Amino acid sequence: MARNMAKNLTTFVAFSYLVFMFIMTHLPKHCIPRTLELAGDKLLHTSAFLVLGFLLSLAVQLRVRSYGWYAYVIPTFVFGLLYGWFDELTQPLVGRYYDLMDLAVDGLGLVMGMLLFEGVRRLLARVLRIEELQ
């Protein structure tokens, strides 16, 4: 897979996931499927931000010209937390509430996603033949 194609695809996927997350977290309370409510709010936040942390790590790593974890950790964590904060601030507009604990588990999910990415980064590099992931 060519570097530019991979860079564009991973950016598109990460951005699409952000849009999906925004839509899901801004559904009015009465529109939330019962099965999601049963899963637990904190587990959903952690899981959603784990995926976001992974996708952002991949997209950022491909966009920078540096190798290794230090190239994506700070931008991914800062952007992810800023998004989580923005998400929490805007939820009251649709009848939901701001919860600081949600932001804390968002950060936990981001870290878990970055750790997962770091764990599979070299495997992805070999499978996708992308040198920048080495």
Question: Into how many domains does the chain fold?
Answer: 1
CB contact at 8 A, 116 and 54: yes
CB contact at 8 A, 104 and 41: no
User: Residue 113 has what pLDDT?
Assistant: 97
Place of tokens 């991973």: 10
Domain range enclosing 64? 3-133
Q: How far apart are CA 33 and CA 8, in angstroms?
A: 33
Tens of pLDDT, residues 66-90? 666 778 899 999 999 999 999 999 9
Stretch 107-119: mean pLDDT: 96
User: Residue 106 has what pLDDT?
Assistant: 96
Cα dist. 8→12, 15, 63, 99 in Å? 6, 11, 9, 34
Stretch 41-53: mean pLDDT: 94
Tens of pLDDT, residues 34-44? 766 666 788 99
User: Residue 36 has what pLDDT?
Assistant: 65
